[in-house]
Structure 1
């Protein structure tokens, strides 16, 4: 079942968050319900945030990501390598954030498939301009919000291993574990594998 996602700028407050996602996945693995997980995370400050406001901003995104990670991916995320966990987190971000998925699909994968390994400011600008023309919602976002989103997108690229260094422009190819790749294709999510450059 595909849920048609709205465009959202939630990545501003909840960009990569791999450690936090793993905490939620562990609780989900123990059989806790979503309300129980939420309570445990907040009461125990499992994300180790100093700011409660940040917890309230990031938790909904992390819970949505945890929902799209099935048992096979849960096992691979908790028992596999850090690289596997990064790939699964990237998949979960794309699966729950339409704008970021479209960015990966229309900009990053196209670059990787064409052997153009530079992501430049103009690529971001062209993408966001096109989205503002296609969507009234995006068109109504402030310039500040869009600038923050561009930084959040670059942060996700860097932390997932797609960007060689934090301030750089050079893209790296991801090495996606065969088990993850085959599983995503089997469950009908091949488009996310393609968006990661495969």
Structure 2
């Protein structure tokens, strides 16, 4: 469960990574283990990155996301619509990043529940200020790190389809497939469904 994770700023180096997630899932399907996947991705530049340093930074995050997806979810990412794959990726990001999950749960869910479809700068600011007051480690983060995270959060929401426009901050409701909703409820992950506005 997300609660055990420490707050982290790793998302600054690993945003949505949808294409990368699919590539790693394909390798996993071939029976490769995490270390083998990591080695292959870096040695063969599976993600088609310009710099190896970018590969090294994003691979661990993608592998972490893949590891929180059960077989059914992995199957859906590979075979269902891009929209559904994006929603499952968003779920995997929440499962592997406590701070982002709390942002989704405390800011986005609340807005969608009250039919307030506007995400403002102050919403992000208030969230990060209150979290850094509660967490010593986070209180030590530089302004640069926090600002980068705010940008990444907006990008994640945009790429997942929750944010219509990064400039205006207008939010969108996600259309979750019934079988996906049933599956997440069945595996006990309704908290993530709620965080996505369900």
With the shorter chain as reference, the TM-score category is over 0.9
**C-alpha deviation, 1:2, in angstroms:** 6.5
The CA deviation string for residues 133-163 of structure 1, in whole angstroms up to 9 with x for no partner, is 1100111100010000000000000000000
Query: Under a length normalisation based on structure 2, what TM-score does the superposition of the two structures give?
Result: 0.97
**C-alpha deviation, 1:168, in angstroms:** 2.7
Name 1:76's counterpart in structure 2.
76
Between the aligned partners of 2:32 and 2:52, the Cα distance in structure 1 is: 22
**Aligned positions of 1:147-166 closer than 5 A:** 147-166=147-166
Query: Under a length normalisation based on structure 1, what TM-score does the superposition of the two structures give?
Result: 0.97
The CA deviation string for residues 17-42 of structure 1, in whole angstroms up to 9 with x for no partner, is 00001100111111111111111111
Between the aligned partners of 1:35 and 1:22, the Cα distance in structure 2 is: 17
- Is the 2:2–2:101 contact (alpha carbons within 8 Å) kept by the matching residues of 1? no
The CA deviation string for residues 104-136 of structure 1, in whole angstroms up to 9 with x for no partner, is 000001000100000000000100010011100
5+ residue gaps, structure 1, are none
**Aligned positions of 1:77-96 closer than 5 A:** 77-96=77-96
**C-alpha deviation, 1:3, in angstroms:** 6.6
The CA deviation string for residues 68-94 of structure 1, in whole angstroms up to 9 with x for no partner, is 011000111111000110000000000
Name 1:103's counterpart in structure 2.
103
5+ residue gaps, structure 2, are none
Between the aligned partners of 1:3 and 1:155, the Cα distance in structure 2 is: 24
Name 1:5's counterpart in structure 2.
5
Between the aligned partners of 1:148 and 1:115, the Cα distance in structure 2 is: 28
SS in 1 for 2:163: coil
Aligned length, in residue pairs: 198
Between the aligned partners of 2:186 and 2:2, the Cα distance in structure 1 is: 15
Name 2:16's counterpart in structure 1.
16
**Aligned positions of 1:9-158 closer than 5 A:** 9-158=9-158
Between the aligned partners of 2:168 and 2:41, the Cα distance in structure 1 is: 34
Between the aligned partners of 2:11 and 2:32, the Cα distance in structure 1 is: 26
Between the aligned partners of 1:132 and 1:8, the Cα distance in structure 2 is: 12
Between the aligned partners of 1:75 and 1:50, the Cα distance in structure 2 is: 29
